[in-house]
Amino acid sequence: MQGRILFIDDEPEILKAVKFYLEDEDFEVHTTTEGHRAVELAETLKPDLIILDVMMPVMDGIQVCRQLRSRTRTRMIPIIFLTARESIEDKIKGLEAGGVDYITKPFNNQELMARIKAHIRHSQEKLSSHPVTGLPGASSVEAEVNRLLQEGVIFAAVFAEVDHFREYREAYGVSRADRLLLSVAKMLEEELQNHGEKEAFLGQPAYEQFLFVSTPQKVESLCQKLVDRFEAQKEGFYLEQHRHRGELTYYNYRGDLVSSPFVNLVLGGVCNSKRFLATYTSVAEWAAQVLLKARTAGKSSFLVEE
């Protein structure tokens, strides 16, 4: 399979014809005629590329694109706009909304195929994603933070780490450790939404490290909520005998008996409201120092510096 494509158009005949052609070229193709359904499918399927008709009833293509760009799981998917119009204004609107390309009806199938392959290839080169959670990985995290800095946005970047994760993985194995990471990723996504951070970026630059972008005004209350929620649920990650002891004990690969505290969620945030930060590297280096300070508490905790 060359990739998964979501195709949205209010003309069933076009959907059918293009679907047939793309499937013949070994693509997995999903279709819909409705904008709101497109948003749901994109989040569920996580396609490699979206072909989106501009002119649709109820929710047009521009609105769909903006919705997709505002959501963590779909914001990095390349979108090719499809339209019967040749208006420069329409093309500008589509590209400004987050589209990567524009093709006008009627179109040549070979040209469409060439553009699809080019954008999927470019996206795969640009976007690294975490193998467990599917969140944007290191290169995407760096690109997003650099974009915010270049645009002069005032924001708080918070790195979140699961402390004692490696001991947990060694004791319980990769599968259970991956489920812990998925739980943390889900918690971060939900709390960002609950705090009104619907357009916030969430990524995973390292295996047990996450990064999210928040507004400076909300960051501390958000971090406190995350710490409280993690503490309330973390015993559920452990077997009964370990919960009873209040610590994790296991034999490592050398046969040594190891004791480890339960995992903690440690957050270190930095804000560029009072300090100039030029690149992602400067953000990450400062945040690493803040994380070290937060970790000295020996429990789930957070620290944010300006």
CA 296 to chain centre: 29
On whether residue 133 sits in a domain, the answer given is: no
Q: Is residue 240 part of a domain?
A: yes
Last residue of a domain, one of 92, 126, 160: 126
| Residue that terminates a domain, selected from 126, 155, 184 | 126
Q: Which long-range contacts (CB under 8 A, 24 or more apart) does 189-197 make?
A: 189/72, 191/222, 191/225, 191/226, 191/229, 192/72, 192/222, 194/225, 195/221, 195/222, 195/225, 197/222
Q: Which among 99, 126, 153 is the end of a domain? A: 126
Asked, for residue 131, whether it belongs to a domain, the answer is: no
Q: How far apart are CA 158 and CA 170, in angstroms?
A: 27
Give me the amino acid identity at 192.
L
Q: Are residues 164 and 105 in the same domain?
A: no
Q: Answer yes or no: is 249 within a domain.
A: yes
Residue 2 is predicted with a pLDDT of 84
- Residue type at 186 in one-letter notation: K
Domain count along the chain: 2
**What are the Cα distances from residue 157, in Å, to 207, 215, 304?**
18, 9, 9
Cβ contact 271:145 at 8 Å: no
Verify that 155 and 207 share a domain, yes or no. Answer: yes
Q: What is the pLDDT along the chain (306 residues), one digit of tens a residue?
A: 789 999 999 899 999 999 999 999 999 999 999 999 999 999 899 899 999 998 888 888 999 999 998 887 788 899 999 887 667 777 788 888 889 998 988 888 899 999 999 998 877 756 567 778 888 888 889 989 999 999 999 999 999 999 999 999 999 999 999 999 999 999 999 999 898 876 689 999 988 899 999 999 999 999 999 999 999 999 999 999 999 999 999 988 788 898 999 999 999 999 999 999 999 999 999 999 999 999 999 999 999 999
Same domain flag for 218 and 189: yes
Residue 246: predicted pLDDT: 92
Instruction: Tell me the pairing of strands 49-53 and 101-104.
Output: unpaired
Q: State whether 8 and 67 are in the same domain.
A: yes
Structural domain of residue 23, as residue ranges?
A: 3-126
Does 132 reside within a domain?
A: no
Residue 128 pLDDT:
66
Instruction: Give the whole-angstrom CA distance, residue 145 versus residue 282.
Output: 11
- The domain that holds 28 is classified in CATH as 3.40.50.2300
* Backbone φ and ψ of 128, nearest 5°: -95, 140
